[in-house]
Amino acid sequence: MNHFPKWKIALVAIVSLFGIVFAVPNLLSRDQADRMPHWLQPVSLGLDLQGGSYLLLEVDTAYVFREQLTSLVEGVRTTLRKEKIKYSDLGARGDQVSVRIIEADERAKAREFLRKIDAEAAIETRDDGSMVLKYSEQAVKARKTAAIEQSLEIVRRRIDELGTREPSIQRQGEDRIVVQLPGVKDPDRIKALLGKTAKLTFHLLDDSTGADEAQKGRVPPGSMLLPSAEKERGMPESYVVRKRIEVGGDMLVDSKATYSEGRPVVSFRFSAAGAKKFGDATRENAGKFLAIVLDEKVISAPRINEPILGGSGIISGSFSVQQAQDLSLLLRAGALPAPLQVLEERTVGPDLGADSIQAGAVASLLGLALVVVLMIIVYGSLGALADLAMVLNLILLLASLSALGATLTLPGIAGIVLTMGMAVDANVLIYERMREEQRNGRSIMSAIQAGYDRAFGTIFDAHVTTLVAAALLFQFGSGPVRGFAVTLTLGLLASLFTAVLVNRIMVVTWVRWRRLKTLPLA
């Protein structure tokens, strides 16, 4: 019918108003936009358009599991020693820890003690007296999930410490983290910061043997050979360090870069519990050497002269100011449960982004202008009405991108251009149909009605098939393909609305107002 119910007119008015309101912020400058409420913001530009860095990181979950096994081995060792149970063949093999209890009559007792070490480790006993501790699949998975959550948090804290503007840190898939940093031109410092697990531990040196002996492969059980962080300056190349952790970096509450004797150092402060542990450890081991280990490298190994009871201390090494700052930042933010690896990096300089957006915008506007002219040449005043509908389509697309907080990428601009093509096609289909119907002898209103009604099925099918493709692109594509799919989807929805409903109202109103007897088409 060429008579429109009030609700349809109202719908068009409301949607158009919505479109204009939400599209307007895109005309504002950055400063002006910042003063607008958060729901009324210009469309956010992808990193390819505004410049910045994208990093795809992977959490090494296998490492987490290995760590877990190592600590289980240590737990078994400490427990059996404490209970004076004789054992042999202790070690991690594959995905489990095994140990043999030598005395047959101690096995039942040992089993009870071992069970208490970790509730999640199931114990299996073999006939020869060996016991196997194994984590259930669920326990392993839970541990990995926890590691990823924790990594996410630590990455967030580290990046926040740097004061980057509007970073986005998201989990992706099983074990990945996507970091997007708008405006960051040189991601090397960030990569360096994220590339360190920053696991700080305090160990006693093993004074029962020397590093030379250990290098020949004779490392006592319960100890390990670690390289020194600074081989120059006449320090030993490596140290033999007890595996047992006296105090861990997780007990730190604060850390600062400061100066001691004119050199940059990192000061730290323990929590109350940490301070007590540190105090006990230093009291019991006065005169021994305490190794400060960061990421399995010994930073320094000072002699404990007196108990350190205040709960704070300094790490001195040959740091530059920047290094001391970065280390204190890392300690403040906490250790990553596992190393991160950069799988993918994409950095676009801000000026290139600006060039791209300009080229894209110019191309879009030029394309739009050409289509506008072509439509007017072919369809006259009705062509102009189609052009109006198309501009509204563009406004609605921009508005919905802005309102949804979707990101406009460079392929997204290509998607806009394509949407324009489909929107024009819809109008061409309708107008051609109207012409045909008029040629078949229909009156003007009847021709208009038949044109819209007949063309609608075709337009609907054409739009929905493309929408189906866009939905799949969104689901299975990644990065630029996704941005393209989002823009295409929103554009097609807007096009269905403007080309079919809005344009129809305009055409009917126009024909009535001008009291046309024939279509100004053919």
Partner 1 sequence: MQLIDRFLPHGTKYDFIRYRWFAFCITAVLIIGSFASIAIKGFNFGIDFAGGILLEAQSTTGPADLHGMRTTLGHLGLGEVSLQEFGTTGRDVMIRVQRQEGDEKTQMAALSKVKASLGEGFTYRRVEIVGPKVGGELVRDGVLAVVLALGAIALYVWFRFEWQFGVGALVSTFHDVITTFGLFSITGLEFNLTTVAAILTIAGYSVNDTVVEYDRVRENLRKFKTMSLYDLLNLAVNETLARTILTVSTVFVTVLALLFVGGEVLRGFSIAMLWGLIIGTFSSIYVAMPMLIYFNLRTGKAAEEAEAEEAPTGGPAAP
Contact between 465 and partner 1 (CB under 8 A)? yes
DSSP 86: -
Least distance to partner 1, CB of residue 516, Å: 14
- Of 103 and 344, nearer to partner 1 (C-beta) is 344
Cα separation of 518 and 75, whole Å? 92
User: What's the closest the beta carbon of residue 170 comes to partner 1, in angstroms?
Assistant: 16
Q: Is 166 helix (H, G, I), strand (E, B) or coil?
A: coil
* Least spacing, CB of residue 431 vs partner 1, in Å: 9
Binding of partner 1 at residue 252 (CB under 8 A)?
no
Min separation Cβ 501 and partner 1, Å: 18
Ranges within 29-58 binding partner 1 (CB under 8 A): 48, 56, 58
Instruction: Tell me the backbone φ, ψ of residue 71, rounded to 5 degrees.
Output: -70, -25
Closest contact distance (angstroms) between CB of 409 and partner 1 is: 10
Q: Which stretch binds partner 1 (CB under 8 A): 206-214, 227-235, 280-288, 483-491?
A: 483-491
SS3 assignment, position 430: helix
Stretch that binds partner 1, among 99-107, 130-138, 156-164, 484-492 (CB under 8 A): 484-492
Among residues 18, 421, 493, 516, the one that binds partner 1 under rule CB under 8 A: 421
Contacts (CB under 8 A) with partner 1, residues 358-387? 359-360, 362-364, 366-368, 370-371, 374-375, 377-380
Residues 174-213: x where in contact with partner 1 by CB under 8 A, - otherwise, as a string: -----------------x----------------------
Residues 134-173 that bind partner 1 (CB under 8 A): none
- The Cα–Cα gap between 488 and 327 comes to 46
Binding mask 289-328 for partner 1 (x = CB under 8 A): ----------------------------------------
Nearest approach, Cβ of residue 484 and partner 1 (Å): 4
Among 411, 486, 501, 503, binds partner 1 (CB under 8 A): 411
Q: State the Cα–Cα distance between residues 72 and 393, nearest whole angstrom.
A: 63
CB of 150 to partner 1, least distance (A): 21
Tally DSSP H helices, then E strands, for the chain: 15, 19
Among 33, 40, 462, 505, binds partner 1 (CB under 8 A): 462
Which residues 1-30 are close enough to bind partner 1 by CB under 8 A?
A: 1
Among 392, 429, 434, 486, binds partner 1 (CB under 8 A): 429
Nearer to partner 1, 152 or 418 (CB): 418
In angstroms, how far is CA 92 from the centroid of its own chain? Answer: 34
Q: Can you tell me which of 432, 493, 505, 510 binds partner 1, judged by CB under 8 A?
A: 432
Which tokens belong to 491?
Answer: 């554009």
How far apart are CB 486 and partner 1 at their closest, in Å?
A: 11
CB nearer to partner 1: pick between 67 and 436: 436
The DSSP symbol for 303 reads: B
The bridge status of strand 44-45 relative to strand 407-408 is parallel
What's the min distance (Å) between Cβ of 367 and partner 1?
Answer: 3
**How far is CA 101 from each of CA 76, 93, 126, 354, rounded to the nearest angstrom?**
11, 17, 10, 70
Cα separation, 155 vs 178, in Å, equals: 10
Beta bridge mates, 65: none
Between 291 and 459, name the residue whose CB sits nearer to partner 1. Answer: 459
Identify whether the C-beta of residue 266 lies closer than 8 Å to the C-beta of residue 184.
no
| Cα–Cα dist 400/494, whole Å | 9
State how far the Cα of 110 lies from the Cα of 29, in Å rounded to an integer: 72
Q: Does 62 bind partner 1 (CB under 8 A)?
A: no
Least CB distance from residue 458 to partner 1, whole Å?
4
- From candidates 28, 253, 342, 493, binder to partner 1 by CB under 8 A: 342
Q: Is residue 481 involved in binding partner 1 (CB under 8 A)?
A: yes
Q: In what helix (H) or strand (E) does residue 274 lie, and over which residues does it extend?
A: helix 272-284
Q: Select from 252, 290, 406, 473 the one that contacts partner 1 (CB under 8 A).
A: 473
Min. distance of Cβ 225 from partner 1 in angstroms?
23
Binder of partner 1 out of 132, 245, 417, 505 (CB under 8 A): 417
Q: Residue for token digits 């439509």? A: 375
End-to-end CA separation in angstroms for the chain: 23
452 touches partner 1 (CB under 8 A): no
Tell me if 88 sits within 8 A of 520, measured CB to CB.
no
Shortest distance (Å) from residue 393 CB to partner 1: 14
**SS3 per residue for 320-378:** CHHHHHHHHHHHHHCCCCCCEEEEEEEEECHHHHHHHHHHHHHHHHHHHHHHHHHHHHH
* Spatial distance between the Cα atoms of 8 and 228, rounded to a whole number of angstroms: 76
In angstroms, the CA 495 to CA 456 distance is: 12
Burial (CB count within 10 angstroms: exposed 0-12, middle 13-18, buried 19+), residue 202: buried
Stretch that binds partner 1, among 79-87, 114-122, 297-305, 411-419 (CB under 8 A): 411-419
* Residue 450 found at the interface with partner 1 (CB under 8 A): yes
Report how far apart, in Å, the C-alpha atoms of 427 and of each of 375, 502, 512 are.
Answer: 10, 11, 19
